[in-house]
């Protein structure tokens, strides 16, 4: 007798993933957040396509069987990792590898834009004001990149190509990577402090008033990691008080960023809508990655990008 075709439950978002390659090899069932809990027990695999949703955290503790494998179309997993999921035998994978180079390019663009004062140039153009200024050189500056995963390492490679001296900080010190005990010292010397760390209990709120006080008045802060890495009120205070020169945030504690957030008006702050990794065709890249992982899973081979559910990220980097 032919074995049943596995059921892949997709927590959908618009546009939905293109999974035509799985026709005949998987039964695709789509759901929104409201229907997730009812459909989880019948699923063999859960694809979290709507990676902004926290529906998995809320639905997972319910009754009945749970999927053997969960894949999220994102680098971060904090949005889905409930204690029950962390304690289960379910394998969790992420989209490691899809966003590394695009985010590194975005960080480089921000570094160049801030160094050359491009936001102010565009403001002055809209005002039809001719105001000559002096810009900063990028080559020869120092960057402290926090987060030693693939994204952090890609940022380091890209900034080095611009002549920036880089220091990479990770959870554990090893060759070429500093440990957390070096962070304050490295931040105090950096022209660019770049957050690219996963969100864990240890990293939540790590960029607070004390850390912004450690930075040089001429330094700039960039966050492309997770929003809750940053105490946003402390960052507004740091910018308003000129403790630091400028900042750029692509991720926020609440997304979309509320219209009444003080971040919108903070002096020297560039706000972007969580787009640093989203290049043309990125959703197709994510769908292709899932199909490749599904083929490994269906063949009984070991999966790639397996998340350590206690740590909250893929280990080994």
The residues assigned a catalytic role are: 226, 255, 274
* Alpha-carbon torsion angle 110, 196, 226, 192, nearest 10: -40
Burial of 198 (0-12, 13-18, 19+ CB in 10 A): buried
Cross-strand bridge partners of residue 308: 313
C-alpha–C-alpha distance, residues 307 and 272, integer Å: 28
Cα-atom radius of gyration of the chain, to the nearest Å? 21
C-alpha–C-alpha distance, residues 204 and 161, integer Å: 31
C-alpha–C-alpha distance, residues 235 and 256, integer Å: 18
> DSSP class of residue 149?
S
The number of beta carbons lying within 10 Å of the beta carbon of residue 312 is: 19
The number of beta carbons lying within 10 Å of the beta carbon of residue 250 is: 22
Residue 80, SS3? coil
């Amino acid at each position: 007798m032919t074995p049943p075709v596995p059921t892949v439950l997709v927590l959908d978002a618009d546009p939905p993933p293109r999974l035509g390659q799985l026709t005949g090899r998987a039964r695709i069932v789509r759901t929104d957040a409201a229907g997730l809990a009812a459909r989880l027990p019948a699923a063999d695999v859960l694809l979290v396509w709507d990676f902004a949703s926290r529906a998995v955290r809320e639905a997972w503790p319910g009754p009945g069987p749970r999927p053997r494998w969960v894949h999220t179309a994102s680098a971060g997993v904090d949005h889905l990792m409930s204690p029950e999921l962390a304690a289960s035998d379910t394998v969790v994978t992420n989209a490691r590898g899809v966003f590394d180079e695009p985010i590194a390019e975005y960080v480089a663009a921000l570094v160049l834009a801030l160094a050359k004062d491009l936001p102010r140039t565009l403001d002055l153009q809209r005002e039809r004001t001719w105001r000559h200024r002096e810009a900063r050189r990028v080559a020869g500056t120092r960057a402290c990149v926090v987060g030693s995963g693939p994204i952090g390492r890609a940022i380091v490679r890209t900034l080095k190509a611009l002549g920036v001296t880089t220091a990479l900080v990770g959870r554990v010190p090893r060759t070429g990577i500093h440990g957390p005990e070096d962070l304050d010292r490295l931040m105090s010397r950096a022209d660019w402090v770049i957050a690219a760390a996963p969100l864990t209990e240890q990293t939540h709120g790590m960029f607070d008033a004390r850390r912004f006080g450690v930075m040089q008045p001429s330094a700039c802060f960039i966050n492309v990691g997770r929003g809750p890495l940053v105490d946003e009120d402390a960052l507004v205070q740091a910018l308003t008080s000129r403790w630091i020169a400028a900042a750029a945030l692509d991720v926020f504690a609440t997304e979309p960023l509320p219209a009444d957030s003080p971040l919108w008006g903070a002096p020297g702050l560039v706000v972007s809508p969580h787009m640093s990794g989203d290049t043309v065709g990125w959703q197709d890249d994510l769908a292709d990655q899932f199909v490749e992982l599904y083929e490994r899973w269906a063949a009984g081979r070991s999966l790639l990008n397996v998340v350590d559910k206690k740590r909250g990220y893929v280990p080994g980097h």
